[in-house]
Amino acid sequence: MNMETEAELVYGDGEFRIVRRGSFVTCAVTGRKIPLNELKYWSVDRQEPYADAEASLKRHQEAGGV
């Protein structure tokens, strides 16, 4: 039986709050599963997680950032 479930989080400045328990979140850019203990990148404004700095930068650029 696979107990792996996706968590639901609220992303804040420097921390996140768990709304629904789970073992991972899905990167908004790559679709890759990110274990919660490895989650380091997210957007407070867009409320979405990123697998790594490259994915975070890509989304920032797509959204019109410099």
Judge whether 12 lies within some domain.
yes
Tell me the per-residue pLDDT of 8-55, one tens digit each, with 9 for 90 and over: 999 999 999 999 999 999 999 999 999 999 999 999 999 999 999 999
CB 34 within 8 A of CB 24: yes
Categorize the per-residue pLDDT at 1 as very low, low, confident or very high, splitting at 50, 70 and 90. very low
The parent domain of residue 47 ranges over: 8-62
Judge whether 49 lies within some domain.
yes
Categorize the per-residue pLDDT at 63 as very low, low, confident or very high, splitting at 50, 70 and 90. confident
Judge whether 18 lies within some domain.
yes
Judge whether 3 lies within some domain.
no
Judge whether 1 lies within some domain.
no
Judge whether 27 lies within some domain.
yes
pTM: 0.89
Judge whether 35 lies within some domain.
yes
Give residues with Cβ within 8 angstroms of 58, minimum separation 6: 29
